[in-house]
Chain A
Amino acid sequence: MWSLLYALGQTGLAVAADAGGMAMVLGRTLQRLGPPRGDSRELVRALKRYGEESLPIVALTAAFTGMIMVVQGATYVQQYGVYNLVGRYTGFTTFREVGPMLIGLMFSGRVGAHHTSELATMRMTEELDALRVLAIDVYETLILPRILAMVVGMAALVVFGDLIAIGAGAVCARLMLQVEYAQFFQALLEHLGPMDFLIGVQKGLAYGLVIGVVSTHYGLNAKGGSAGVGRAVNAQVVASAVALFWVDYLMTSVVR
């Protein structure tokens, strides 16, 4: 009984410490924004490495997402004969919820993990301390450009991913349910407005910021050799997933 209470308290303290650390990272990053002080070359590099090079994996994920949405609804569509709604529900679920979320999870697994392990390695090898000795601000040279790149890159990837998911969903609906492409896209355009698409993009922006802040926090606070790098990456992926679902919940219940 007491040990359970003790464990709960320990967990609570750890969660509070991590939340505080992330708030510090966010604050320090925002502080560098006015007036903007960041390395623009690092920004371009990060945009290419985090955004462009994530495109294959995001395209693959998005294609699966679109097809899974159609497959899941197929039973109901056949049961009720609502072939004219396939485009509508596929677009709605993909644009608003599932597309940004799955792309965000992949992004945190690839980009967030990379950022964390790089910062953690720099901390282990005392590169971060060396930078401080040289009076180089690691937030200006590394963190702000990369978090910006994550925000922009994530939103752009959501736009690309949504289009790919819808394309794959249309092909899947044609093959499985014999829904013509014209009917699929007509249902999509008739029932969905630009807001449905933009809410997803807005979520992409928020998820990019969340992943950037979480991965920076765990990278800067890694401890204990090369096993510590692995632990930091692991903790980052877990915390990002919880934070993404939490932000998703907030945005869903606020933007309705």
Chain B
Amino acid sequence: MVPISASVFFLRPLASLGRWGQWGGRQVQAVLRLGGAVLRNLPHAEPAAIWQQARDLGNRSMFFVVVVMAFVGAIMVVQASMQAQRIVGDLSIIGPGFMQLLVREFAPTIVALMIAARYGAGVAAALGAMQVTEQVDALRLCSAEPISYLVVPRVLGGLTSMPAIVVVGGAVAFVSGGLAGHFGFGIGWTSYFRTGFVVPSDVAIGFCKAAAFGVAVPLVSSWAGLSARGGARGVGQATTRAVIGSSVAVLFLDLVFGAAGYVAQRW
């Protein structure tokens, strides 16, 4: 017989881990099913609606992304310069190295996390409010397919404008990092503003990441909005789920693309 203590300290955490796993699996399944429905409805997309959503995701997040990425650039260059001063004392590779890391990793990921917070929460709030006031069912009654009307434009708009805003965010971070490096550590302009470290495969990885995030964030947020239940409280919960869900999706895809890029570069 298993002693009580073992069951408390070992089996219970294991059981709750399994429950979380099952729960997470169901959520992923639901998102993927929505993705399949989006693929089936792709031919019915309206260009005007796509541009509207691309504008909503990109142009209207511009101020927010610029402010955040300016801080990110300055923080990273300050940290890296402190480390470089302590170890090698050579600050000339900070600029090009930071550029490479930005292109490959930080610009797509941090911008996508910010878009998940601003645009994803907005999508979930809008679709969630439509869902709990039965407007989505009304669409279905008018024989308008809600997915092709509500979700497809958001996904395609995200795919269009996410790479663009990633480029803007990366550029802002690089410039603000240059300012921080110049005035904080005396890094020369010409030694900072170099792009020599960036190779085509870095750009390819960065672009693939941005495109994947551009699909994932609207998809997860739409799923969160459409599965909202029960009044104002349900809309609030949907917003939370959209932010958390799309952030986790971004981190997961980042890991997958990072590992794939590493393997591809080795061969």
Contact = CB atoms under 8 A, between A and B. Distances in A.
A78 B247 CA distance: 29
Nearest to A227: B129
A117 B129 CA distance: 14
Interface residues of A, number: 51
B78 A253 contact: yes
A106 B244 contact: yes
Contact of A56 (B20, B79, B114): B20
A226 B232 contact: yes
Interface in A214-256: 225-227, 229-231, 233-234, 237-238, 241-242, 245-246, 248-249, 252-253, 256
B39 interface: no
B251 interface: yes
A229 B236 contact: yes
A242 B101 contact: no
Q: Could you tell me the dominant secondary structure of chain B's interface residues? A: helix
B82 interface: yes
A60 interface: yes
A78 B265 CA distance: 11
Nearest to B231: A226
Interface residues of B, number: 51
A237 B68 contact: no
A142 interface: no
A227 B228 CA distance: 13
Contacts of B71: 242, 245-246, 248-249
Contact of B255 (A64, A97, A249): A64
Interface string B127-157: 0110010000000000000000000000000
A106 B75 CA distance: 20
User: A71, A116, A248 — which one has the most chain B CB atoms within 10 A of its CB?
Assistant: A71
B231 to A, nearest CB: 7
A40 interface: no
A229 B235 contact: yes
B6 to A, nearest CB: 22
B259 A114 contact: no
B253 to A, nearest CB: 10
Contacts of A71: 255, 258-259, 262
Interface in B211-267: 231-233, 235-237, 239-240, 243-244, 247-248, 251-252, 254-255, 258-259, 262, 265-266
A92 B86 CA distance: 13
A230 B242 CA distance: 12
Interface stretch (B118-126, B159-167, B187-195): B118-126
B255 A67 contact: yes
A43 B251 CA distance: 32
A245 B118 CA distance: 15
Contact of A68 (B122, B244, B254): B254
Contacts of A124: 232
A252 B79 contact: yes
A114 B237 CA distance: 7
Contact of A74 (B68, B76, B233, B262): B262
B113 A68 contact: no
Contacts of B231: 226
A179 interface: no
A72 interface: yes
A113 B75 CA distance: 26
A113 B79 contact: no
A110 B259 contact: no
A176 interface: yes
A252 B75 contact: yes
Interface string A13-47: 00000000000000000000000000000000000
A113 B239 contact: yes
Interface string A100-119: 00100110111001101110
Interface of B: 20, 63-64, 67-68, 71-72, 74-76, 78-79, 82-83, 101, 104-105, 113-114, 117-118, 121-122, 124-126, 128-129, 132, 184, 231-233, 235-237, 239-240, 243-244, 247-248, 251-252, 254-255, 258-259, 262, 265-266
- Give 4 nearest A-B pairs by CB, closest first: A230-B125, A117-B236, A109-B243, A226-B232
Given A72-B258, A234-B122, 12 more contacts: A64-B252, A113-B239, A117-B237, A124-B232, A230-B122, A230-B124, A233-B121, A234-B125, A241-B114, A242-B68, A242-B71, A252-B78
13 contacts: A64-B254, A64-B255, A71-B255, A105-B247, A113-B121, A113-B243, A117-B233, A117-B235, A229-B232, A241-B64, A245-B71, A245-B72, A248-B75
